[in-house]
């Protein structure tokens, strides 16, 4: 079978936008303009995930327990081969032939993020539209201080408990109407766990005094007042921003076997959730088909359908991860067709 050049499937037309600091008036430091991040190519994303998977497998094998060996065998297969729907020039869908479904797997994390986005984005958009009190979506980051000898389970519990205390305080209930959160744990240069929380929160009252907000966070943590609050231009870009912390591969180069052992002990621990008034709304609200079609592109393409990019017929092919990376790179290096001002191909 001849090898087919393909592209990474396009999931969202909306790019994450640069964030604007919400409370510039209460800061003394100048907030410099951040240059726009260069979009990551499909081949680069696949290479990062494949390399991250290789490091994870090595650490699991080194741990050398029955559980780690079983997980390692499954992770090795995950993302190694894909069933691809393609026209020969574009990839429309790409599904792995085997999913390990493990939290640490970089390939499965990508699918989990898309599932969460499909479930909660329509409800978040509807909440902004239908909330009885006008709300503004914001991106909140809460950070804890590092502690020597603290395990990931202890750090996660300390962060989650502090967060639950924060959202029960009068200050929070006055300014926010719930949201969605994701807990992320990374390893710092000293090998200590750095646990922090990203959330899309729905602000119902402007936070005039950010220092008071920091004091509230310090009151529930006891030793940390570090947080960041940014207004979002739209709820979709904000939700994508939070959910990327599910898909982002761990930097396993910094991890030791002990770090992996502790991560495996997090099995069953909740790292993502919804809360507050938004949680009540999300349980009851069911988006219509029209709402789903407005927010998401069609992904139920099959052999014989027309490619949405070039209208050529689609067919299926099985490709390895290495073949996918090579052909993505080759296609990305080809010159793009020239477009006129209204977005149509120019006639030669």
Q: What is the pLDDT along the chain (348 residues), one digit of tens a residue?
A: 444 443 333 333 333 333 333 443 333 344 444 455 556 788 888 898 899 999 999 999 999 999 999 999 999 999 899 888 888 788 788 788 899 999 889 888 878 888 888 899 899 999 999 998 999 999 999 999 888 889 999 999 999 999 999 999 999 999 999 999 999 888 888 888 988 999 999 999 999 999 999 999 999 999 999 999 999 887 777 777 776 665 565 678 889 999 999 999 988 888 899 999 999 999 999 999 888 888 887 777 888 899 888 888 998 888 899 998 887 787 778 776 554 444 444 444
Are residues 242 and 146 part of one domain? Answer: yes
pLDDT of residue 135: 94
Find the farthest-apart pair of alpha carbons in the chain and give their distance in angstroms, rounded: 68
Query: From the centroid of its chain, how far is CA 186?
Result: 15
- Decide if 309 contacts 9 (C-beta within 8 A): no
CATH number, domain at 144?
A: 3.40.1310
Structural domain of 162: 103-254+268-289
The reply to whether 213 falls in a domain is: yes
Q: Are residues 3 and 84 in the same domain?
A: yes
Tokens 């410099």 correspond to 32
Examine the domain organization and report whether 63 and 82 are in the same domain.
Answer: yes
Same domain, residue pair 93 and 107: no
Helix (H) or strand (E) holding 46: helix 42-63
Taking a C-beta distance cutoff of 8 angstroms, is the pair 143, 155 a contact?
no
CA–CA gap between residue 118 and residue 240 (Å, rounded): 11
**What is the per-residue DSSP string for 211-265?**
HHHHHHHHHHHSS---EEEEE-S-HHHHHHHHHHHHHSPP-GGG--HHHHHHHHT
Residue 232 lies in a domain: yes
SS3 label, residue 102: coil
Q: Are residues 196 and 305 in the same domain?
A: no
Residue 157 sits in the same domain as residue 234: yes
What per-residue confidence (pLDDT) applies to 46?
87
Does residue 343 fall inside a structural domain? no
Say whether both 113 and 234 belong to one domain: yes
Nearest CA-CA partner of 83 in 303, 308, 307, 319: 319
Residue 161 pLDDT? 96
Instruction: For residue 33, tell me if it sits in a domain.
Output: no
What number of CA atoms fall less than 13 Å from residue 111's CA on the CB side? 16
* CA pseudo-torsion sign 197, 19, 229, 127: negative
Per-residue model confidence (pLDDT) at position 341: 44
> Residue 2 domain-assigned?
yes
Is residue 113 in some structural domain? Answer: yes
User: Looking at the structure, do residues 157 and 195 belong to the same domain, yes or no?
Assistant: yes
Lookup: tokens for 228: 């960041």
Count how many domains the chain has. 2
Q: At what angle do helices 152-166 and 257-264 cross, to 10 degrees?
A: 50
Euclidean distance between CA atoms 193 and 304, whole angstroms: 50
Q: What are phi and psi of 199, to 5 degrees?
A: -145, 145
Residues 52 and 151 in one domain: no
Per-residue pLDDT at 330: 79
Cα 47 from Cα 123, distance rounded (Å): 33
Assigned domain for 344 exists: no
* CA gyration radius, the chain: 22
Tokens of 177: 């109407």
Confidence at residue 245, expressed as pLDDT on a 0 to 100 scale:
65
- Per-residue confidence (pLDDT) for residue 260, from 0 to 100: 94
Q: Residue 12's pLDDT is what?
A: 36
Please indicate, yes or no, whether residues 229 and 316 belong to a single structural domain of this protein. Answer: no
207 burial type by CB count under 10 A (0-12 exposed, 13-18 middle, 19+ buried):
middle
Same domain, 8 and 117: no
The Cα angle at residue 70 between residues 254 and 54, in degrees rounded to 5: 35
Query: What's 205's DSSP letter?
Result: S
**166 domain-assigned:** yes
The token pair at 130 is 């239908």
What is the four-CA torsion angle of 261, 267, 271, 273, rounded to 10 degrees? 180
Instruction: Mark whether 80 and 155 lie in a shared domain.
Output: no
């Amino acid at each position: 079978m001849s090898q087919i050049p393909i592209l990474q499937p396009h999931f969202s037309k909306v790019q994450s936008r640069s964030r604007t600091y919400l409370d510039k008036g209460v800061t003394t430091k100048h907030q410099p303009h951040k240059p726009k991040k260069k979009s990551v190519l499909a081949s680069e994303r696949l290479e990062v995930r494949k390399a991250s998977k290789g490091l994870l497998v090595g650490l699991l094998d080194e741990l050398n327990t029955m559980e780690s060996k079983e997980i390692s065998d499954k992770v090795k297969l995950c993302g190694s081969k894909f069933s691809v729907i393609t026209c020969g020039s574009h990839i429309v869908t790409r599904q792995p032939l085997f999913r390990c479904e493990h939290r640490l797997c970089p390939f499965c994390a990508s699918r989990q993020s898309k599932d969460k986005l499909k479930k909660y984005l329509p409800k978040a958009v509807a909440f902004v539209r239908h909330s009885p009190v006008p709300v503004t979506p914001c991106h909140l980051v809460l950070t804890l201080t590092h502690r020597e000898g603290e395990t990931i389970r202890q750090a996660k519990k300390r962060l989650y408990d502090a967060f639950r205390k924060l959202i029960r305080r009068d200050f929070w209930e006055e300014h926010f109407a719930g949201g969605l959160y994701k807990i992320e744990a990374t390893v710092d240069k000293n090998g200590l766990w750095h646990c922090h929380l990203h959330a899309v929160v729905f602000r119902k009252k402007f936070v005039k005094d950010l220092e008071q907000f920091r004091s509230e966070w310090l009151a529930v943590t006891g030793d940390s007042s570090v947080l960041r609050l940014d207004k979002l231009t739209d709820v979709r870009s904000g939700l994508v921003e939070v959910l990327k912390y599910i898909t982002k591969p761990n930097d396993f180069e910094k991890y030791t076997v002990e770090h992996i052992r502790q991560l495996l002990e997090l099995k069953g621990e909740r790292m993502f959730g919804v809360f507050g008034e938004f949680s009540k709304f999300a349980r009851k609200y069911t988006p219509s088909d029209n709402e789903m079609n407005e927010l998401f592109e069609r992904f139920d393409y099959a052999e014989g359908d027309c490619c949405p990019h070039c209208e050529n017929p689609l067919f299926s092919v099985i490709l390895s991860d290495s073949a996918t990376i090579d052909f993505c790179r080759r296609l990305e290096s080809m010159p793009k067709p020239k477009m006129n001002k209204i977005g149509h191909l120019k006639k030669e």
